[in-house]
Copies of this chain bind each other. A is one copy, B any other.
């Protein structure tokens, strides 16, 4: 038997596929060619069938699918910790919105995305789903960084730095869809901000556009009690009920947050096969309430995890989100068997991919899927000894244990060295922007 030459082999280590059957190969091996996984299994078997032009030794390490951050606003890394421990309204109205009004620009967004990309790659995230302004610049920054992204320009009724009218906003979204539909790393989407910041018409036009391009459609839904109360006062319906009436719920629709949901809301989400993104650390910190994940899962609703922005979190660390989700839902349920480790891990991998409609090619290590692979060091005191690899990953591993990151078959971080981003320059520029922001407060 002649072995087949491929681009890259990841050799040895514990290979946690995080597939539907939770297959684990120990020692395992992964063969990647043309950006896709072509061989996967026990070391011996794969070694016999393939030889790699590049070989990464993962002996004694953990090999797993890269993590998926299903909701963030990447450029807001530049506002990281700008205003903590404040009521949501003060935070938003006195700090975030004024800062955005003053500072938002394509350059700002690009720099913030590069900073976010460095943090995400370092912490094992291989794909994030973003909603912000100037998303074309975000797509370009991610392409340069070798990081996978779902981009969606926030659609809002009011004028902003990115566009003046909802019509221009839709045009911007359509331009994104046209430009990026065939990219290997960038997935364009349509993202109305929320049922309170986008009109019914804008949400419906956005949905038509998303469907036309077969793209994901995401929006913030029922994040706060007051949002739900105001929706009922104004429209006689909860936000989810209203979205159903507007005919924008579907399998490709994603409700971000979905914190304050009625039983009827949950039934609607299940019925329309609409996914939900839970952002545990941001939801805790803003005290807005928590997505009722166990109830949603029980109803058959897809749930992925996200960090939300670094302005309300304050990091973009999916290891932290998994651990927090697994712990906090046990407490809420009063049941230590609630939200077991596998569930938390799958919400950051395969389930997150399902929510975004990308599970046919992302979210687990399987032959035919894209080569999005991370390798974790296990030689650290907090990871010794190891009785169960999955619970270890969720309850003990830290983002800093990620050593090597491969996205679409390309090594973007090797032994903690970032290969696609100049951190020194990014940090210097981010610090300078922060200095200017702080200086501008004094002059108000």
Query: How often does this chain occur in the complex, in copies?
Result: 2
Contact present for B336 and A384 (CB under 8 Å): no
Contact present for B285 and A330 (CB under 8 Å): yes
A330, A379, A426, A430 — most chain B CB neighbours (10 Å): A330
Nearest neighbor of A396 in chain B, beta-carbon distance: B314
Contact present for A314 and B385 (CB under 8 Å): no
Q: How many Å from the CB of A113 to the closest CB on chain B?
A: 12
Contact present for B81 and A392 (CB under 8 Å): yes
A84-92, A193-201, A292-300: which lies at the B interface?
Answer: A84-92
Q: How many Å from the CB of A96 to the closest CB on chain B?
A: 12
Q: How many Å from the CB of A429 to the closest CB on chain B?
A: 10
Nearest neighbor of A344 in chain B, beta-carbon distance: B85
Residues of chain A in range 86-117 having any CB-CB distance to chain B below 8 Å: 86-88, 91, 115-116
| Cβ of A82 under 8 Å from chain B | yes
A6-14, A64-72, A118-126, A170-178: which lies at the B interface?
Answer: A118-126
Rounded to whole angstroms, the CA-CA distance of A116 and B399 in the bound complex is 20
Given the complex, which residues of B lie within 8 Å of A123, measured CB to CB? Answer: 382
Rounded to whole angstroms, the CA-CA distance of A423 and B384 in the bound complex is 10
| Cβ of A78 under 8 Å from chain B | yes
| Cβ of A47 under 8 Å from chain B | no
A324-B324, A328-B328, A438-B387 known; A287-B333 Cβ under 8 A:
yes
Q: How many Å from the CB of A355 to the closest CB on chain B?
A: 23
| Cβ of A442 under 8 Å from chain B | no
Residues of chain A in range 281-336 having any CB-CB distance to chain B below 8 Å: 281, 283-287, 289-290, 310, 313-317, 320, 323-324, 326-328, 330-331, 333-336
A115, A283, A290, A381 — most chain B CB neighbours (10 Å): A381
Q: How many Å from the CB of A24 to the closest CB on chain B?
A: 15
Given the complex, which residues of B lie within 8 Å of A328, measured CB to CB? Answer: 284, 328, 331
Rounded to whole angstroms, the CA-CA distance of A336 and B287 in the bound complex is 5
Q: How many Å from the CB of A183 to the closest CB on chain B?
A: 24
Partner of A382, one of B290, B315, B330, B335: B315
Given the complex, which residues of B lie within 8 Å of A385, measured CB to CB? Answer: 78, 80, 430-431, 433-434
Nearest neighbor of A342 in chain B, beta-carbon distance: B85
Interface residues as binary, A419-441 with B (CB distance below 8 Å gives 1, 0 otherwise): 00001001100110110001000
Given the complex, which residues of B lie within 8 Å of A400, measured CB to CB? Answer: 398-400
Residues of chain A in range 269-291 having any CB-CB distance to chain B below 8 Å: 281, 283-287, 289-290
| Cβ of A38 under 8 Å from chain B | no
A84-B341, A335-B287, A340-B85 known; A387-B327 Cβ under 8 A:
no
Residues of chain A in range 347-363 having any CB-CB distance to chain B below 8 Å: none
Given the complex, which residues of B lie within 8 Å of A396, measured CB to CB? Answer: 80-81, 310, 314-315
Q: How many Å from the CB of A25 to the closest CB on chain B?
A: 19
Nearest neighbor of A79 in chain B, beta-carbon distance: B387
Rounded to whole angstroms, the CA-CA distance of A38 and B434 in the bound complex is 35
Partner of A391, one of B314, B388, B426: B314
Leading 8 A-B pairs by shortest Cβ distance: A385-B434, A400-B400, A119-B381, A284-B327, A118-B381, A85-B340, A84-B391, A314-B395
Identify 30 residue pairs between A and B in the complex whose beta-carbon atoms are under 8 Å apart, listed by A's number.
Answer: A80-B385, A80-B396, A81-B387, A84-B395, A85-B340, A85-B341, A87-B337, A118-B381, A119-B382, A123-B382, A281-B323, A285-B330, A287-B336, A289-B331, A289-B334, A314-B391, A314-B395, A315-B382, A315-B398, A317-B382, A379-B427, A381-B426, A384-B427, A384-B430, A384-B431, A385-B431, A385-B433, A386-B431, A387-B438, A398-B400
